Amino acid sequence: MPDTRRNVIAFITSCLPRRCGIATYTSDVATAVAQHAYGEALDAGHIRIFAMNDLPQGYSYGPEVAFEIQQHAREDYRSAAEVLNTGKIDVVSLQHEYGLFGGEEGEYILDLVDRLKVPLVSTCHTILADPSAKKRDILRRICEKSTRIVVMAEKALEILGDLYGVPADRVTMIHHGVPDVPFSDTEPFKQRFGLAGRPTILTFGLLSPPKGIEFMLDALAKVVPDHPDLVYIILGATHPAIKRESGESYRLSLENQAVTLGIQKNVVFHNRFVSNPDLFEYLQAADIYVTPYHNKDQITSGSLAYALACGKAVVSTSYWHAQELLADGRGIMVEPGDVDALAEAIRGLLRDTDERDRIRYAAYEYSRRMLWPQAGRQYAGTFEKARQAYSAAKRPAPAEREVLLRMSLPEVRLSHFFTMTDDTGILKNAIFATPDRRYGYCTDDNARALIVSAMIWSLFQDEKVLPGIQTYLSFLHHALDPDESGRFRRLLSYDRRWLDGSGKADSDNCDSGHDDDDGNDDCQGRIAWALGYLIAHSPNAHAQRLAVHLLRTALPTFQHVRHPRPWAFAILGLHYYLRIHKEDAAARSLQASLAERLNDKFARHESDDWPWCEDIVTYANGRLPQALIIAGFTLDRPEMVDRGLRVLRWLLDVQTTDTGHLSIIGNDGWFRRGIQRPVFNQQPLEPASLIGACKAAFRASGDPIWLTEMRRCFEWYLGRNDLGTAMVDFKTWGCYDALMQSGLDFNQGAEADVSWLLSLLIMHEMQTGEPPLIG
């Protein structure tokens, strides 16, 4: 009898209408559980879906979806855990596949499972016998947090026990469910597709190289001479990840292969995602179903399960799931890559209809234990056992992660950022919130805009920033001065004429209040920083290659730079560059040299009451201690880290009022040694630099005080400042240029906007309190 209690089961998964095999699987599982346990439909309320979105706009979901998680928005995982913990959820079912989740190898899901305070049942769709260290650690941690684990093959129990240390009594094997399809003759279905009387072979699934279709085409060429009317249907859209990376090149290569082999009339490509009803009509039309996969480690194949449910004669490579489902004569297996064996197996089944029918009956009979009602009953039983085991267990309360940075952050909105950008680059100035074309473009701003775009891509995989990455990178490439090796020009008019060159800046600087030579060197440094950051966070190899070329061209010029700020920017850029190019000894030597020069400049100039490296404190000051901390940590120079921490502490202290809010050094004279510092005009550039420095300080020291300071600096933008006025216009999502004694400078130029976005992005990055890498 159905359970009438209002207990709720939550599924963390992709969800229809997203075109994804796991979305289809979960829809069937959840429907079967709802019917078995509660005698009701999926959307009646006992089942709630926490849907993984791979697109920023999400999907048009049904009422069963209670929460949406943006795949690359790390904060969403923590928020989902909070909702699950407070939402009267009895059991959480995690459908785990590495590619569903954000972070390296899908590690963001750990932010959710580590915070759960309800029973977790994890279904493992991929279990690798030879995983990378990262993948092994992720699955091991998921298994540790799970009360019960579901697998779909017996081999999975062995691997989980041997490699991941999971006790067998915590693992349940539940076959991949299948619908109850009547055993039928193929001919009526062939007629629907215009294939009457033709021997028909089918392969189904999202198209990608691991499917091994090229292996099957080679085998088909050996069979077609004996069966010239044979048709091979390749059904399924190209895998989205493959399409993003290389378009339809794999499909085109298969089409070309068919032409080269002379079998193009025997091969039909259907490049579309098909619904289950359509799929089963294709399956029922097929005489033979083939899964020619390359990878023997595949632990689950939904398409293979469906083929058995339709009573198909299957020829497959001997991957793990096939070894179990096709055992005892329920199909024919060959080794991956053995074209002759595959051809002979197909030829034999076409020739021997009695053997083909015997296999069909055996497969269909075996699939009766896999029907969705049985799977729903087993899942419901597993959920109930997990709930009971969780309730009975005496365990300490889940450790609360101390996340001192936790706050309700504004969302990342790029409307003004995009408004300020045209097909040349980001414009320098705005008149109020409208781009002011009179002042053209500044290379510094385009370098910072490149960092913002690369950071958004790194954090959220938001494809809207990809055109901007190309635009800003193109601007930097164009800025390279052809008359002076390795130097970049700085000011470009709206009609695309350079206003400076050969290393000399125009008098109209991008950062007001410093001399031209210093400012131009700053520009070189910011470019190095931006290029290094892009190299470490590039969305594609082409952008990365160009960034590497530009950075390597620029690096020799830093031997002659004499100002500390560009040293600091270059140190930051080299830090990111060396994450990817660890073998570059020259770059590593330059980073060490610049760090030594910066450290020495502080050491020679500092005193007990003035730890700064010059007699004046101006703009972007936090970047100097940030560079000292990062370089010191990287080079194993603890005294350099300590100096960076001391300098950062001093910068924060001298810019803090008696009431505890941040009061930025104004550019109306700057802060000179022995002279009271000016309060106005305060610019958004400075809190951005302090936030970056505090992030480095926290990751180097582990001291949570730096998270508190990050928050205080960030609050300057939101109104915790000398005028109690928000610096962000939440209608345009731009940032005002300055906080002046008379009020706001209402212009919303590029420097202010990118400073705000850099700050906001770092806050989102650090919201979870996870410090995987310094910098």
Interval 495-509: pLDDT, tens = 999 998 644 444 445
User: With bands split at pLDDT 50, 70 and 90, how would you rate the model's confidence at 513?
Assistant: very low
Tokens coding 76: 């969403």
Cα separation, 445 vs 429, whole angstroms: 10
pLDDT at 774: 58
User: With bands split at pLDDT 50, 70 and 90, how would you rate the model's confidence at 3?
Assistant: very low
Q: Buried b / exposed e across 616-633, counting CB within 10 Å, b at 16+?
A: ebbbbbbbbbbbbbbbbb
Strand partners, 735: 728
Could you write out the DSSP letters of every residue in 380-394?
Answer: HHHHHHHHHHHHH--
pLDDT at 511: 58
Q: Which of 50-64, 257-271, 382-396, 637-651 bottoms out in mean pLDDT, i.e. has the lowest?
A: 382-396
Mean pLDDT of 505-514: 48
Mean pLDDT of 128-155: 95
Going by C-alpha positions, the residue among 300, 23, 291, 21 that lies closest to residue 159 is: 300
The full 3-state SS of 157-194, as one line of letters, equals HHHHHHHHCCCHHHEEECCCCECCCCCCCCHHHHHHCC
pLDDT at 395: 56
Task: Decide: 530 and 451 in contact? Cβ < 8 Å.
Answer: yes
User: With bands split at pLDDT 50, 70 and 90, how would you rate the model's confidence at 275?
Assistant: confident
Task: Decide: 488 and 476 in contact? Cβ < 8 Å.
Answer: yes
Backbone angles phi, psi at 290, to 5 degrees: -125, 130
Mean pLDDT of 250-254: 94
Going by C-alpha positions, the residue among 115, 112, 68, 75 that lies closest to residue 94 is: 112
Mean pLDDT of 625-643: 97
Tokens coding 193: 């597709």
Of all helices (H) and strands (E), which one includes residue 296?
none
Q: Secondary structure of the chain: what % helix, strand, coil (to 5)?
A: 50, 15, 35
Q: Which residues contact 195 (CB under 8 A, 6 or more apart)?
A: 231, 285
Task: Decide: 87 and 53 in contact? Cβ < 8 Å.
Answer: no
Cα separation, 612 vs 625, whole angstroms: 10
Task: Decide: 533 and 451 in contact? Cβ < 8 Å.
Answer: yes
pLDDT at 662: 97
Residue 85 has pLDDT above 50, yes or no: yes
Tokens coding 59: 């999907």
CA dihedral angle for residue 328, residue 329, residue 334, residue 335, rounded to 10 degrees: 0
Mean pLDDT of 607-623: 96
What is the percentage of the chain residues whose pLDDT exceeds 90? 82
Residue 240 has pLDDT above 90, yes or no: no
Mean pLDDT of 346-351: 96
Task: Decide: 319 and 303 in contact? Cβ < 8 Å.
Answer: no
Going by C-alpha positions, the residue among 696, 684, 708, 703 that lies closest to residue 759 is: 684
Going by C-alpha positions, the residue among 3, 6, 8 that lies closest to residue 89 is: 8
Cα separation, 23 vs 52, whole angstroms: 9
What is the percentage of the chain residues whose pLDDT exceeds 70? 94
Question: Does residue 446 have a cis bond before it (omega within 30 degrees)?
Answer: no
Chain centroid to Cα 234, Å, comes to 30
Task: Decide: 643 and 701 in contact? Cβ < 8 Å.
Answer: no
Q: Which one-letter DSSP state was computed for residue 501? A: B
pLDDT at 478: 97
Average model confidence (pLDDT) for the chain?
92
Residue 110 has pLDDT above 80, yes or no: yes
Cα separation, 447 vs 424, whole angstroms: 13
pLDDT at 394: 58
Residue 124 has pLDDT above 60, yes or no: yes
pLDDT at 349: 97
* Structural Rg of the chain based on CA atoms: 31
User: With bands split at pLDDT 50, 70 and 90, how would you rate the model's confidence at 514?
Assistant: very low
Cα separation, 527 vs 521, whole angstroms: 10
Chain centroid to Cα 260, Å, comes to 39
Mean pLDDT of 752-762: 97
Cα separation, 354 vs 367, whole angstroms: 20
Cα separation, 34 vs 40, whole angstroms: 6
CA dihedral angle for residue 395, residue 399, residue 400, residue 403, rounded to 10 degrees: -170
Cα separation, 372 vs 36, whole angstroms: 10
Task: Decide: 611 and 646 in contact? Cβ < 8 Å.
Answer: yes
pLDDT digits (tens, 9 = 90+) for 367-377: 999 999 999 99
Cα separation, 450 vs 454, whole angstroms: 6
Task: Decide: 109 and 96 in contact? Cβ < 8 Å.
Answer: yes
The full 3-state SS of 559-625, as one line of letters, equals HHCCCHHHHHHHHHHHHHHHHHCCCCHHHHHHHHHHHHHHHHHHHHHCECCECCCCCEECCCCCHHH
Cα separation, 428 vs 17, whole angstroms: 43
- Which has more pLDDT, 282 or 276? 282
Chain centroid to Cα 498, Å, comes to 38
Of all helices (H) and strands (E), which one includes residue 10?
strand 8-13
Cα separation, 465 vs 457, whole angstroms: 7
User: With bands split at pLDDT 50, 70 and 90, how would you rate the model's confidence at 7?
Assistant: confident
Mean pLDDT of 272-289: 91
pLDDT digits (tens, 9 = 90+) for 154-190: 999 999 999 999 999 999 999 999 999 999 999 999 9
Question: Does residue 17 have a cis bond before it (omega within 30 degrees)?
Answer: yes
Tokens coding 30: 């959840």
Helix (H, G, I), strand (E, B) or coil at 361: helix
Cα separation values, 543 from 603, 623, 659, 678, Å: 39, 25, 47, 42
pLDDT at 405: 53
Mean pLDDT of 423-442: 98
Mean pLDDT of 692-719: 95
Backbone angles phi, psi at 545, to 5 degrees: -60, -45
Cα separation, 631 vs 53, whole angstroms: 38
- Which has more pLDDT, 41 or 60? 60
Cα separation, 309 vs 11, whole angstroms: 25
Neighbours of 205 (CB within 10 A): 21
Task: Decide: 404 and 707 in contact? Cβ < 8 Å.
Answer: yes
Q: Is 469 exposed, middle or buried (0-12, 13-18, 19+ CB in 10 A)?
A: buried
Strand partners, 238: 207
